[in-house]
């Protein structure tokens, strides 16, 4: 799909803000050359904002686990673009341009032509919410184009292996599989319940994806040295959970201290059947252990058609999570103004979509450049500077005021997703997340904010 400068839309109705060409700005520095007749020292060029627009691309996906969050992410990015331009006057004297969103409809699509079209239209930074497989395949084209990549979705280890060359252009905002595995392992290893399996034992169910295999690998890396183990593992094709009864029987054949369900809404019927299979004659569970659910499974099942088929109390021992700090009223209202469906589907990853756009703009202001390499290099810096700020306008003002006196100021942006620090590979090292539980009537209760920190 070709991206055109004339695709600029100045409202949220279309969910896009267009795309425009840009040129690389000159970098200041010392004059270099051969022997000179004078002894005058070279001088640095004055600090100034480049007179070019920042153009941001976006790639999402409407299949697999990404489909659940596509609408929320798309709307949040478009909302951030509207705020940046309408409330705060854009960047460098121009509107920040948001290229038309490209949405993958099936796995395996070749994104190279899409990325080339974006590059031809001036895109130097792209926000992605696609799966690990697709992002790995797209990285060569992204690197060739010199685009900074802010990914709001992936968590798998495969993107950080030596075989995947990212040229330090990739930044990821969500907790990694290693981070979540460390949390899950501590729960399993710390178990002392006489109704559950031995400490350190884990039952694992997941969609058969790179991310699903990655999380299992990270769990094993923590459990095995500490005498823990995966007592049962079950992978299934995306969208085809298979025989629920058989999967329940496999789990209960060797009860674990913890069950990790790394899938989607198929979690509820499975957990209902699992719970029923553990009840004694008095309808009390004889076997009971905690369950941990992935973001795609963390929904209010009482609002869905499946609710009438669920056994009361079947989700009471489950805890789900979503990345991001506790939701603010401002953020909820922003999303609900676009669709009340979010009352049912939730807001997962929308904070990250909003902040990814703002971060790209602040990185450009910090670097005084719209070049992809400069943006990628500046992204970690705008999260940990000396001046704390929580919106684009305030953060940009801090840097602009310093620039007026030919000085530099650094900011620590804490946005919709809460405080965030990036690690040495530009993955989320410290950040915020929300944990959710369910009532006896299987209603999802209000999320509780908590922090995460990546293991050493």
Fold: same for 5-23+53-174+349-422 and 177-325+431-453? yes
List the structure tokens of 437.
């539980």
pLDDT at 456: 85
DSSP class of residue 400?
H
What's the rounded Cα separation, in Å, for the pair 32 and 436?
A: 59
Supply the angle between the helices 132-145 and 112-120 in degrees, to the nearest 10: 40
pLDDT in tens, the chain (456 residues): 443 333 333 333 333 333 333 333 333 333 333 433 444 444 567 899 999 999 999 999 999 999 999 999 999 999 999 999 999 999 999 999 999 999 999 999 999 999 999 999 999 999 999 999 999 999 999 999 999 999 999 999 999 999 999 999 999 999 999 999 999 999 999 999 999 999 999 999 999 999 999 999 999 999 999 999 999 999 999 999 999 999 999 999 999 999 999 999 999 999 999 999 999 988 899 999 999 999 999 999 999 899 999 999 999 999 999 999 999 999 999 999 999 999 989 999 999 999 999 999 999 999 999 999 999 999 999 999 999 999 999 999 999 999 999 999 999 999 999 999 999 999 999 999 999 999 999 999 988 999 999 998
Q: What is the pLDDT of residues 50-106, one digit of tens each?
A: 999 999 999 999 999 999 999 999 999 999 999 999 999 999 999 999 999 999 999
Domain ranges of the chain: 5-23+53-174+349-422, 177-325+431-453
Architecture of domain 177-325+431-453 in this structure: 3-Layer(aba) Sandwich (3.40)
Please check whether residue 80 is in contact with residue 143, taking contact to mean a CB–CB distance below 8 angstroms: no
User: In the CATH scheme, what is the code of domain 5-23+53-174+349-422?
Assistant: 3.40.50.2300
In the prediction, which pLDDT does 43 show? 54
Q: How many residues does the chain have?
A: 456
Cα distances (Å, whole numbers) of residue 420 to 161, 390, 395, 452: 23, 12, 15, 10
| Per-residue pLDDT reduced to its tens digit, 136-148 | 999 999 999 999 9
Q: Let me know: does 379 contact 171? Beta carbons within 8 Å.
A: yes
Per DSSP, 307 falls in state: G
């Amino acid at each position: 799909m070709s991206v055109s400068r004339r695709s600029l839309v100045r409202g949220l109705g279309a969910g896009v803000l267009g795309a425009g060409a840009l040129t690389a700005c000159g970098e200041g520095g010392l004059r270099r050359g051969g022997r000179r007749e004078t002894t005058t020292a070279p001088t640095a060029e004055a600090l100034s904002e480049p007179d070019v627009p920042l153009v941001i691309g976006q790639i999402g996906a409407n299949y697999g686990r990404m489909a659940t969050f596509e609408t929320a992410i798309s709307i949040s990015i478009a909302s951030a673009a509207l705020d940046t331009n309408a409330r705060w006057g854009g960047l460098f004297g121009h509107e920040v341009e948001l290229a038309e969103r490209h949405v993958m409809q099936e796995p395996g699509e070749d994104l190279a032509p899409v990325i080339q079209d974006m590059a031809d239209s001036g895109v130097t930074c792209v926000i992605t919410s696609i799966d690990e497989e697709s992002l790995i395949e797209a990285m060569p084209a992204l690197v060739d184009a010199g685009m900074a990549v802010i990914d709001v979705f992936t968590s798998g280890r495969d993107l950080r292996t030596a075989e995947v060359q990212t040229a330090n252009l990739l930044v990821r905002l969500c907790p990694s599989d290693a981070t979540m595995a460390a949390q899950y392992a501590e729960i399993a290893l710390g178990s002392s319940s006489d109704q559950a399996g031995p400490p350190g034992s884990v039952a694992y169910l997941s969609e058969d994806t790179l991310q699903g295999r990655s999380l299992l690998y990270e769990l094993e890396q923590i459990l095995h040295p500490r005498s823990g183990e995966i007592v049962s593992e079950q992978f299934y094709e995306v969208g085809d959970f298979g025989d629920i009864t058989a999967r329940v029987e496999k789990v209960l054949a060797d009860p674990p201290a913890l069950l990790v369900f790394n899938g989607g809404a198929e979690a509820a019927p499975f957990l209902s059947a699992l719970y029923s299979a553990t009840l004694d004659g008095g309808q009390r569970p004889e076997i009971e252990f905690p369950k941990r659910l992935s973001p795609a499974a963390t929904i209010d099942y009482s609002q869905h058609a499946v609710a009438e088929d669920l056994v009361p109390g079947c989700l009471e021992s489950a805890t789900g999570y979503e990345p991001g700090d506790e939701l603010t009223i401002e953020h909820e209202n922003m999303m609900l103004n676009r669709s009340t469906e979010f009352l049912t589907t939730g807001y997962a990853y929308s904070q990250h979509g909003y902040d990814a756009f703002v971060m790209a703009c602040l990185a450009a202001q910090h670097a005084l450049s719209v070049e992809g390499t400069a943006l990628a290099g500046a992204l970690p810096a705008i999260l940990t500077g000396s001046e704390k700020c929580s919106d684009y306008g305030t953060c940009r003002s801090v840097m602009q005021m310093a620039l007026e006196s030919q000085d530099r100021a650094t900011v620590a942006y804490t946005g919709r997703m809460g405080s965030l620090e990036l690690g040495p590979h530009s993955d989320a090292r410290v950040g915020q997340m929300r944990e959710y539980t369910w009532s006896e009537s299987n209603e999802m209760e209000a999320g509780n904010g908590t922090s995460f920190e990546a293991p050493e």
